[in-house]
Amino acid sequence: MRGWLSTGIRLPLAALAVALAAYPLILGNPYSFRLATLAGIYALLAIGYQLIFGYAGALSLAQGCFFGIGAYVSALLASRLGWSFAWSFPLSLAAPVALAALVALPVLRLESHYLALATLGVAQVALLAAVNWQGLTGGANGIAGIPAIALFGARVPDGWPLMLVVWLFAAAGAFLAWHLMRGLYGRMFHLMRENDIAATALGIDRARLRLAAFLLSALYAGAAGALYAHSEGVISPGVLEFPVMVACLAMAVIGGSARVSGAILGAVLLVHLPEWFRVLDQSYLIAYGAALLAVIIVAPWGLIGAVERLRARLLPELLPEPPAPRMTTLRARAGNAAARLLEVEGLAIAFGGLKALDGVTFSVRPGELVGLIGPNGSGKTTLVNVVSGLYRPSAGRIRFAGQDITETAPYRRARLGLARSFQSTSLVAEMTALDSVALGRAALEGTGLASALASGWRCAHLARARGHAMALLDALGIAAFAERRCGELPHGITRRVEIARALALEPRLLILDEPAAGLSAGEAADLRQHLQRLAQGGLTLLVIEHNMPFLMPLAERMICLDDGRLIAEGKPAEIRGHPRVIEAYLGRAAWAGGPG
Amino acid sequence: MELLQLIIDGVSLGAAYALVALGFVLVLNATGAVNFAAGDLVMAGGFAAVALAEAFPLPGLALLPLVLLLMAALGLVFSLLAYFPLMRRPPTAVFISTIALGVILQNAANAIFGAAPRKAPALLGEHLYHLGGLSIGRQSLAIVAVAAALVLAQHLLFARTQLGRSLRATAQDRETAEALGIPTVRMIALTFMLAAALAGAAGLLLANRYFVEPTRGNELIVSAYMAVVIGGWGSLPGAVLAALLIALFQVIVSAYASYTTATALLYAVLLAVLLLRPKGLFGEAIGRRV
Amino acid sequence: MSEPLLELQGLSVAYGGIAALEEVTLTVASGEAVALLGANGAGKSTLVKAVMGLVAPSAGRMRFAGGDLRHLSTLARARLGLGYCPEGRRVFPGLSVRENLEVAARVDKATRRRRLDAVLAVFPALAARSDARAWQLSGGQQQMLALGRALMGQPRLLLLDEPSLGLSPILADELLEKVREIAKAGTAVLLAEQNAAKALAIASRAYLLEVGRVVREGASAALAESAEVRKAFLGG
């Protein structure tokens, strides 16, 4: 019981659901059934919207448009052509999904406001078409005489049966969304939303995730629109107007944007708000606006988020038993030691006239541990970003494991076995260390929608990935932190969690960008031991550091960058005595001190 | 001859659009925030003019200073509600808060003035000049003149005065500006006031010929936004120029085909621009650091 | 001896649980040039930002010109006479060279004009390009501009955060030479710098930071002889 209470908010949610179901039944009048039906339709709309807005983090303003299109398609097929619900319903889903697929290409690549305004543009065109294409849509008068839903040949009567049917659809949609997002797939979205670059570095294809969420959101909106048309019996261009979108956005934000329960709560609240506050009369949209503003300022995580926070404060979470480790073998896909694993040739890149890299050439052999040093601003991180694919070089080639990857997308490079860490922490604060590392398995377990659906009731992908993650946390000596959230971990531990996550990819080459930054001397020494052990296990490592005392005893070979150019290469002892390295680090003037 | 007539109409509509786009870019540059309610501020300005005209039966030009003042005050309130509480949050939060304020403005206007279109007085009366086969409204000319004067005033303020330099410095690097002794909070509040005043002026200019109704803002924000994207994200002259082009396109294509066709084509152009240049025609000034 | 111009006592700064500075104690006297040395990540920038109020300390005392700094905003600190030249230059890219300088002088028009002429006289390279937009300048010129801009407020203490960063050795020398001139003319300077040799040549005293702590302080000449400085940069 206590475990059930403290690992989520399932019990309060269940109580709330019962109360909601009881409410219209107790009132028992047709109007309360109608409102409850409407709430179910909006819940479905908002659950779909959460997939693109809450999970994918993309502010689409086309959800209202998809809803309207679903409603129009249903209305046209049912009232003009006399199609039965069993045939018109699937087409009402397909039409908005097809439109979403069509606009996804230009629109979905865009960031925040571009996406928002571009999707709004699509919605405006749809509205104009509905108003002006009178032959088809009936113009401003809309379409009347839409038959009620018929299931298995029987017409669903108004009142509680209709409410029940609509809520069954909503429940099915809620279950599908919840199931889809509770495993590894949902965590991929979470990481992508918080830090898309880190997600890409784990081989997660951001474009594909966003597309899946966008199409699914259109699917839900189409279903909601179809149910709306059938339950109201008449529609007008109003279903395509902006207030529908505003209501949907407000429901998602007020309820809580990445929780299925939030969408349901938001829909029920906002549909009933004008009823409960009769004084608002026609101005209920002002109240929507005010509530939206208040929630975004005071509780950006929404009502469900607020309840969860409250619960976490009152009843501290019990840490679940960590899973049993599953052995990961570090793929020593090394092969021929004389071959080159990574070859960089003549790399150059400039930012606004400043040459950040200028003809950098070097290579890494399988099984080697190479140190890359250079003073602040010398181009070390830029080099990592070019090799991992975040920046396109203006000149030069990169070969990895015998393959030219100069033009390869960054997530594909990760899947080829090129893993990297980041200078600043790239973990999601609310995610546990275990799940963060499990995400390193995303590319190996499959990042597609189909594989997420196929994951099964027990979320086999997540379970398997967690097993591997546990083994890696154990190997790095931080198994005790597995179920702790990354935001609460000490800095030294988070660095190791990030290394474990990169290792979960089973990389051929691991590039670490300043792994010792911000570590105390003791922590750094500890980390060094772990890296040494990994190297002995056959892992190829390229370690970027400015902290020379850390790197010197570790590296077999070192490369020094200065001002975007490679100025020295050799064994650590040679590098330390190299006049150009000394000059780069200590300045040009004659150095007075003797050798240390 | 008919085309010339349309061009004159288009330029006068475009002059009003330019003011909206200008206000939008000023806020964008100063805060990085996309003000979704920019169109609703125009609508508010239009209704302010309608209400003022009922109280004082004066020509529009005499009401302009009052509208500017009222709207500047609204801009201040706007920034206090929608921007300052969310300054340190991701840009999406501010975007949603401006949507919320837009909804509030729209429905407040609906509650006060009703849904029917209303008309504000012309700037200097509704006289028509006949010139050859052309008939040019005095209102059209006055719109272009007033808009040009406001754009020029904004330009001079920004280019020639210490206040303008401070506003620009704040927009370009807020932290550094603050560390150099520039009161950036005041500068940002002032930017919102300026933007709202410009939008309000556009509302007054548009509300005579095109009327004003509570939902007017939705089309306007899309037009203004398109001007900003096509003119180059963040560019003031680009936004003004693109606003003129968009209005010309709308007026001319609407005359020969239909308003729906014009709007749909315009969106197609917008989508094409975004497809080919996802960060706007000239790209955003500030890249992302990893 | 009178009270120092800037006095930090037990100053600590932490970013999300990571200690960036730990109990740093440091003083700068009026008219004195002090160097702050250390490898990348040692905490130099954090210290300068803490003085400017751009990061909040978790503990410690900060006094400037006899007053407590801790509860003052960045704006108020700038107006008290702290001049700031940030890491990475951060000139206002869309403002012209002249405008970049003018905007930093919050005084009447005539005084502003006088200061502008004075700064342009120090940096002839900027005078030659005074109408160019700042983004069009080379890295070295931008750094000169950032330095000149910090001088426009006539600060009592100039905070310089890695002014030679990303500059070629010749340009770095040229720039640090300007800093030496400014210090000589009587403005106190706190110079955070990786280029240890050059910084020690300018400053009379220096502090060596390592992982957020002061590990060595003293007269520049003594530090220049020290093996610790070399070790801090190049490893044992």
Per-residue pLDDT of chain B (290 residues; tens, 9 = 90+): 688 888 988 999 999 999 999 999 999 888 888 888 999 999 999 999 999 999 999 999 999 999 999 999 999 999 999 999 998 887 778 888 998 999 899 989 998 998 889 998 988 887 888 877 777 888 888 999 999 999 999 999 999 999 999 999 999 999 999 999 999 999 999 999 999 999 999 999 999 888 898 888 888 888 888 888 888 778 888 889 999 999 999 999 999 988 888 888 888 887 777 777 665 554 443 333 22
- Chain A: give the shortest CA distance to residue B286, in Å: 11
- Residues A126-166 have pLDDT tens digits of 998 898 888 888 888 899 989 999 888 888 888 888 999 99
* Surface-to-core class of residue A195, CB atoms within 10 Å of its CB (0-12 exposed, 13-18 middle, 19+ buried): middle
The pLDDT value recorded for residue A590 is: 40
pLDDT at position A9 over 70: no
Mutate to test the interface with B, among C92, C113, C143, C151 (most CBs of B within 10 A): C92
What pLDDT was estimated at residue A12?
65
Q: SS3 for C187?
A: coil
> Which of C175, C179, C225, C233 has the most A C-beta neighbours within 10 Å, making it the best mutation to test the interface with A?
C233
pLDDT at C227 over 70: yes
Give the integer Cα–Cα distance in Å for A575 and C149.
Answer: 39
For residue A395, is pLDDT > 60?
Answer: yes
Closest CA relative to residue B18, chosen from B213, B161, B228, B159: B228
pLDDT at site A596: 33
Note the ipTM here: 0.91
Quote the pLDDT of residue B67.
96
Please answer yes or no on whether A120 and B81 come within 8 Å at the CB atom: no
pLDDT at A466: 92
pLDDT at residue C235 is higher than 60: no
What pLDDT is recorded for position B230?
A: 81
Using pLDDT thresholds of 50, 70 and 90, give the confidence band for residue A335: low
Position A285 pLDDT exceeds 90 = no
Q: Report whether pLDDT(A352) > 70.
A: no
Strand partners, C20: none
Of B108, B259, B270, the CB nearest to A118: B270
pLDDT at residue C25, rounded to an integer: 95
β-bridge mates for residue C13, sequence order:
C21
Contact C194 A549 (CB under 8 A): no
B274 contacts in chain A (CB < 8 Å):
106-107, 110, 114, 118
Name every chain A residue with its beta carbon within 8 A of the beta carbon of C231. Answer: 549, 596
Q: Which residue of A has its CA nearest to B107?
A: A286
Say what the pLDDT of residue C17 is.
64
Q: Please give the Cα distance from A29 to A51 (Å, whole number).
A: 34
d(CA C175, CA A71): 69
Q: What pLDDT is recorded for position A593?
A: 40
Q: Are strands A395-400 and A403-404 parallel, antiparallel or unpaired?
A: antiparallel
Token pair 């078409």 is found at: A129
> What DSSP string runs through chain B?
-HHHHHHHHHHHHHHHHHHHHHHHHHHHHHHS---TTHHHHHHHHHHHHHHHHHHS---HHHHHHHHHHHHHHHHHHHIIIIIGGGTTS-HHHHHHHHHHHHHHHHHHHHHHH-SS-B-PPPSS---EEEETTEEEEHHHHHHHHHHHHHHHHHHHHHHHSHHHHHHHHHHH-HHHHHHTT--HHHHHHHHHHHHHHHHHHHHHHHHHHS-B-TTHHHHHHHHHHHHHHHH-TT-HHHHHHHHHHHHHHHHHHHHHS-HHHHHHHHHHHHHHHHHH-TT-TT--SS----
8 Å CB contact of B182 and C75: yes
Q: Measured between beta carbons, which residues in chain C are less than 8 angstroms from residue B178? A: 73-75, 78
Residue A315 pLDDT more than 80?
no
- Contact between residue A399 and residue A456 where contact means Cβ atoms under 8 Å apart: no
Q: Which residue would you say has higher pLDDT here, A292 or B157?
A: B157
Interchain CB distance below 8 Å, A242 and B218: yes
What average pLDDT does this structure show over A368-394? Answer: 89
**Do the Cβ atoms of B95 and A288 come within 8 Å?**
no
Q: CA dihedral defined by B73, B75, B80, B82, rounded to 10 degrees?
A: 150
By C-alpha distance, which of A581, A544, A575 is closest to A379? A544
| Whole-number CA gyration radius for chain B | 19
Q: Residue A543's pLDDT is what?
A: 95
Range of lowest pLDDT (A64-78, A372-386, A576-590): A576-590
In a 3-state reduction of DSSP, which class is residue A159?
Answer: coil
Mean pLDDT value across residues A499-524: 87
**Counting one residue from A and one from C, how many pairs have CB atoms under 8 Å apart?**
88
The more confident residue out of A60 and A319 is: A60
Which amino acid is present at A291?
A
| A161 close contact with C: CB closer than 8 A | no
Nearest CB partner across the interface for A246, out of B99, B111, B259? B99
Give residues with Cβ within 8 angstroms of C193, minimum separation 6. Answer: C35, C36, C37, C44, C160, C162, C163, C164, C176, C199
Token pair for B103: 């909804």
- Phi/psi at A325 (5° precision): -65, 145
Q: Which residue has the tokens 């490893």?
A: C235
Q: Does A589 score more than 60 pLDDT?
A: no
Biggest alpha carbon distance in chain B? 63
Mean pLDDT along residues A91-108: 90
pLDDT at C110 over 90: yes
Select from B169, B179, B285 the Cβ nearest to the Cβ of C103. Answer: B169
pLDDT score, position B272: 79
Tens digit of each residue's pLDDT (9 = 90 or more) over C51-61: 999 999 999 99
Compare CB distances from B97 to A125, A286, A296 and report the shortest one's residue.
A296
Q: Which residues of A touch C198 (CB under 8 A)?
A: 587-589
Amino acid in the structure at residue B227: A
Whole-number average pLDDT of chain C: 89
Nearest CA in chain B to C104: B180
Structure tokens at C117: 């002429």
Of A57-66, A583-592, C2-11, C112-121, least confident by mean pLDDT is A583-592
Contact B91 A283 (CB under 8 A): no
pLDDT over 90, % of chain C: 58
Identify the top-confidence range among A378-387, A555-564, B180-189, B222-231.
Answer: B180-189
Tens of pLDDT, residues A216-239: 999 999 999 999 999 999 999 989
